[in-house]
Chain A
Amino acid sequence: MIASFNQPQRQSKVGILVMFFYSLQKLVRVFFPLLVLFYVKSENLNLLLVIPGLFVGIALLAVFAYFQYLNFTFYIDEENEEFIISEGIFNKTKTAIQLEKIQQVNINQSLIQKIIGVYALEVDTAGSAKKEGSIKAISHNLALALKSRLLDNEKKVLQDYSLNLDVPPIASQEPKPFIKISLLTLLKIGITSNYLRSIGLLFLFYSYVQENLRNFSETDYLDGSQLDDFFATQSILRAVLIVGIILIAIVLVVNIVRTVVKFFDFTISKQKGSLLLSYGLFNTKGTIIKPEKVQITTITRNFFQRKMDILEIKIQQASSGELETKKDVTEIPGCNENEKNDILKLIFNTIPEKGVMMKPNWRRLGFSFFLGIIIPLSFYFGFGTYLEPLAFDYAFVAVGYTIFVAIILIFSYRNNRLFVSDNYINIQSGAWDVDNRIIEIGKIQAVTTSQLFWHKGPDIGSLTIHTAGGDVHFSLGNFTTVKNYVNLWLYTVETKNINWM
């Protein structure tokens, strides 16, 4: 039997049941707490009211399911080579998916579908997280036929494609490791990374101890002199300091152990143009990086790491099908400048140059000061003045906070840069850990420019670059230049047909 999908067709008739149970499930899930509450609250439920109510509800659901079934159709438009799904009762949606864009077709069965004896068919294209099209009730034979019909097209394209790829013959050899990350490097990484996290933890710990200390002194030294109080805090401050140092040591040890266990014997080898990574102390993990799939390459380095000539690389690839929710991120925990260049060469074929630099406008600093310092401080003063004068006893926290945040904001402003060269965009950001995010211009999926109306005068605005591996944002640059870049990038993307995954 050759199934034809040229005419709009409905799902299996039993699909009504599937739809019914799905909506019932959804409804029960939403209203379950309410139902329980209702049941507990009123002991003497009027069954004469409840049972007809339930019946009416179920009947409505059934009618709803029936119309859902009636309005759900799918077919393949042979002329335009697209798969079309129409659905909806009141709000109608018609989704059209180009056949050659379809990456995966999954045939699944949930419990309900298993009981009823039908299958679900889900169509997945590149990038976005959710399934683009899904049919909830279809017989197995039909599902298989539709799947092969949907993928039929893709195979053709893929074959063409691989032919093109093979033109420059790549010497196929045994994978031989070309970068090995030594234990020493891992130790260095363990000491130098996650610093902020440690500081944050320390801060949290300190404020916690401080809090308890206050409670303690308030109850015990209620009538005690100021002097007593002072000495008490002094000695406890010293204890806190010691505990803090121990804590830092613990955090460092944990960091080192974590890094070593996770990334022990990190080996990178080449195979047919792809990068093979394998690492792990107890169980060895392996990852493949395909250069054409790489969307964003992040190089991270902080002050200490720069002194030690080590850096971390994160590679975001286009997420394909299976990894729906989590972005496909691969970490290379530590390498030096030369190794970094080797890796970049493998991914990009060259070392991406930085190109022309753009600084953000000073208003970016002003705005982050406003958000990070002025608003919290005004809350603090407002709280202290009108609600709880005791809050001013903690003024040192406010001062500490202001200094800390100000330093972070100033550094992150100073580090924030946009570099644009012929083929690459490099966005630098971060206060302590400085990230350089490199995007190949051909990998751009879409571009957003954004400008607040009071920024028209000073001619500044923001830029967001969307790729299949995530978005990258640059705030408040010179808007005329940004627009020129966007025009150039669009030109590049639209004239060349670069394979972005």
Chain B
Amino acid sequence: MEQFSNNTIDIKQLPRFETVAFQKLEPNYWKVVLINLFITVAILSIGLGIVYYLVDEFRKEAIYLVITLGVIIAITFVFSRISFVKKGFAFREHDVLFKNGIIATNTIIIPYNRVQHVALHEGWLSRYFGLAKVEIFTAGGSSSDIKIPGIEKEQAEKIKQLLMGKIQQQL
């Protein structure tokens, strides 16, 4: 029989998830976000350009559309930036934390002993910058999965090993 104790837990003494220092995403990931945004904008602009060229009536109204488009792009840019800056992750001894959100700050925490499986995802653009996305899955469905983008490939591999190691320890 193991030594059994049943002391009262002092809640104030527990490790606090809200004081954890979060690690930021790789600066290169911002480039990936920007290039993606640029590609979207480019496709949109080409589409608009074709319409401008083909439809005469469109030319008079074009200026408003361009302005709207510009505003949308600016907002998307700002939001992407905020979203990028606010994303952060931390690996503690017993759980993984991921912070994200634009107007809200969401923090999701998965204890290692609840991790079901792990995947490494490399988008074609991310791969060019040597980045990967670590995806951590639980049995709680898609809302409780953590997907951390913008991690260096090597570090991502290490994280995967760490997570697998942690899962192993449970047995």
What is the interface of chain A, defined by CB distance below 8 A to chain B? 80-82, 88, 90-98, 100-101, 125-129, 132, 157, 318, 444-453, 464, 466-468, 470-471, 483-484, 486-488, 490-491, 493-494, 497, 500-501
Contacts and interface: CB of A to CB of B under 8 A. Distances in A.
B17 to A, nearest CB: 6
A132 B144 contact: no
Given A98-B164, A448-B107, A471-B140, A92 B122 contact: yes
A451 B105 contact: yes
Contacts of A128: 116, 137-142, 145
Contacts, number: 156
Given A127-B140, A466-B140, A490-B94, A95 B107 contact: no
A297 to B, nearest CB: 17
Nearest to B139: A127
B144 A452 contact: no
A447 B95 CA distance: 11
B161 to A, nearest CB: 8
Given A128-B139, A452-B104, A471-B140, A96 B122 contact: no
B11 interface: yes
A80 B168 contact: yes
23 contacts: A80-B164, A91-B124, A92-B122, A94-B119, A94-B120, A97-B117, A98-B164, A98-B167, A127-B140, A128-B138, A318-B139, A445-B114, A445-B139, A445-B140, A449-B107, A450-B107, A452-B104, A453-B104, A483-B17, A486-B17, A491-B9, A493-B111, A494-B95
Given A80-B168, A484-B11, 20 more contacts: A91-B122, A92-B122, A94-B120, A96-B120, A96-B160, A98-B167, A101-B116, A127-B140, A128-B139, A446-B109, A446-B138, A447-B108, A447-B109, A466-B141, A468-B141, A487-B16, A493-B114, A494-B111, A497-B113, A501-B139
A447 B111 CA distance: 9
A97 B118 CA distance: 7
Contacts of B106: 448-450
B137 A132 contact: yes
**B-side interface mostly:** mixed
Contacts of B170: 497
The range of chain B's interface size is 35 or more
Interface string B1-44: 00000000101001111100000000000000000000000000
Contacts of A466: 138, 140-141, 143-144
B105 A453 contact: yes
B121 A93 contact: yes
Nearest to B18: A483
Contacts of A127: 116, 138-141
Contacts of B50: none
B164 A491 contact: no
Top 10 A-B residue pairs of the complex, sorted by shortest distance between their CB atoms? A127-B139, A466-B144, A466-B140, A445-B140, A90-B124, A494-B94, A446-B144, A468-B139, A95-B119, A97-B117
Contacts of A471: 140-141, 143-144
Given A100-B171, A445-B140, A494 B108 contact: no
Contacts of B138: 127-128, 445-446, 466
Contact of B127 (A92, A101, A445): A92
Nearest to A495: B94
B103 interface: yes
B70 interface: no
B49 interface: no
Nearest to B102: A453
Nearest to B121: A93
B110 interface: yes
A451 B104 contact: yes
Contact of A91 (B105, B121, B144): B121
Contacts of B168: 80-81, 98
A446 B168 CA distance: 19
A283 to B, nearest CB: 31
A320 B15 CA distance: 34
B66 to A, nearest CB: 27
Contacts of A464: 143
A90 B126 CA distance: 10
B47 interface: no
A90 to B, nearest CB: 4
A241 to B, nearest CB: 45
A126 B143 CA distance: 15
A41 to B, nearest CB: 18
A490 B109 contact: yes
A116 B2 CA distance: 58
Contacts of B145: 128
B119 A96 contact: yes
Nearest to A129: B141
Contacts of A81: 168
A468 B116 CA distance: 11
B117 A96 contact: yes
Contacts of B16: 483, 487
